[in-house]
A and B are shown apart, each in its own frame.
Chain A
Amino acid sequence: MALLEVKGLEAFYGRTQALHGLDFELEEGGITTILGANGAGKTTTLRSICGMVRNNGAISFDGQALIGQATENIVRQGIAHVPEGRGTFVRITTEENLRLGAYTIKGAREVADGMERVYAYFPRLKERRNQQAGTLSGGEQQMLAVGRALMLRPRLMLLDEPSFGLAPLIVKELFEILRTINREEKVSMLLVEQNATLALNLADHAYLLETGRVVMSGTSDDIASDEAVRQSYLGY
């Protein structure tokens, strides 16, 4: 059984409908990417899974129905969302941000362990642990967002354009770390990206979204070698 199963997902902002019946699934331990142009509905899809937009249809996570549950309860089942724009708590320190990520984790030992793991992945965050998080650079805030998500000890990570605004070298580094997290910590990932080359490289499965509908799906290799995709998304 798939870890995440989405059927007939519709989402609404006021009276405008942003998703028109999406179907997709994600295997436990896998990395799936959702590609699409600006406004295709990628962010909306991730926000629907976390119960942050009005939606209907069916979303099941590990057999549990998610639709209708409050965001904080969905999160508690092991879904960590790295949101578009990074969602930094700007007024508090880096370390307090990480501490908040572990809000649902009971036990000081577990929290301390989590902190050490995050600092091992992102030594830069350790150097900046007492710095006000709003003053971190864009790349550092992205690392912090991933670190905060990791603190939750998630089974599934939702990543909304983690490469956005980062220098190519940092992006490469970040994606290496994501791959390691996926392998070592057995965290499944649903990745939304503008940078299709990068995403197809990391993911095993891909879905292509156009104006709120899935127009193509398959393994990353299949999608990457598709002529139409190559021209409109990969640019060669």
Chain B
Amino acid sequence: MDLFLQQTFSGLANGAIYACVALAVVMIYQAIDHFNFAQGEMAMFSTFIAWQLMQWGIPFWLVFPICIVISFAGGVAIERIIFGPIHDAPVLSHVIVFIALFSIFNSLAGFIWEFTIKPFPSPFPEAKLLDTNLIGNHELGMIVVVLFMLSLIYLFFRFTPIGLAMRAAAANPESARLVGISVKWMLSLGWGLAAAIGAVAGMLIAPVVFLEPNMMLGILLYGFAGAVVGGLTSPGGAVAGGLLVGVAENLAGTYLIGSELKLTFALIMIVGVLLLRPAGLFGRVVVNRV
């Protein structure tokens, strides 16, 4: 029983990481209807920017918002400059640009900051907050931050005119233009938000996995798994999906398959969910009658 609890909690801790990434994945998927394969690398690059700012002596609590703003602007710029012009191009062109972005960010980070592993500080206090060994402060803090972001996103999409306009632009661009919404700015905004969420994810993950250009490689796959399991249309589902993947992977690793096959297990979860419930566990099946 102890082992079970232990593994569940450490799964939740990993799951919090996946949930962060899954949330960013869903945000961009909602805005552009594609997976952004470069998402992880963008988050990694943001984290390096944060690290650089700290090297220059800026305190963490300042670096955090600065990095979010820079990443947001970067996301908007990427959409404006790169994806705007190819908006009507076939899916394959988009995929190729995603892959190009992926390798550009990866090698650029290596070129500027080198491939050596760097420690990244945790924003959360060292002293034990909870009298338990099941979960550490940083992991706990991560879950809290992710849930906080999720509620912000929920409030934004549910209650603000811009949030409603973003949903409208993604679901039905033509009708959106006809009510006066600038669809291309909504797309840019979606990219900006996804990049900002990615930056938060990167800064939360880096203290655990250490900072280096390839830090997001495996994690992005788990993030995708979380997003798919939760349902690509649901930010809440993505977070739940991320946590679920973390726990399931850990328990399966302990009791069933051993730790070597954990990543395979994540892929099996993706395929399994897509086969059995294409909309994901929490995704909304659209009712449509004409």
Contacts and interface: CB of A to CB of B under 8 A. Distances in A.
A41 B161 CA distance: 35
B87 interface: no
A171 interface: no
A87 B181 contact: no
Contacts of B288: 90, 134
Contacts of B179: 75, 100-101, 103-104, 148, 151-152
B286 A50 contact: no
A87 B287 contact: no
Contacts of A87: 172, 174-175, 178
Interface stretch (A91-99, A186-194, A214-222): A91-99
Nearest to A92: B167
Contacts of A88: 172, 175
A75 B164 CA distance: 18
B180 interface: yes
Interface string B250-290: 00000000000000000000000000000000001011111
Contact of A134 (B175, B183, B287): B287
Interface residues of B, number: 23
Nearest to B161: A103
A138 B290 contact: yes
B177 interface: yes
Contacts of A76: 180
B168 interface: yes
Interface in A58-115: 70-72, 75-76, 80-81, 83, 85, 87-92, 96, 99-101, 103-104
A148 B286 CA distance: 21
A176 B183 CA distance: 34
Interface of B: 161, 164-165, 167-168, 171-172, 174-183, 284, 286-290
Given A70-B177, A75-B178, 14 more contacts: A50-B177, A52-B174, A81-B178, A83-B174, A87-B174, A90-B287, A91-B286, A92-B168, A100-B165, A101-B179, A103-B180, A132-B287, A134-B288, A152-B180
10 contacts: A75-B178, A75-B179, A76-B180, A89-B168, A89-B171, A91-B284, A92-B167, A103-B179, A104-B179, A132-B287
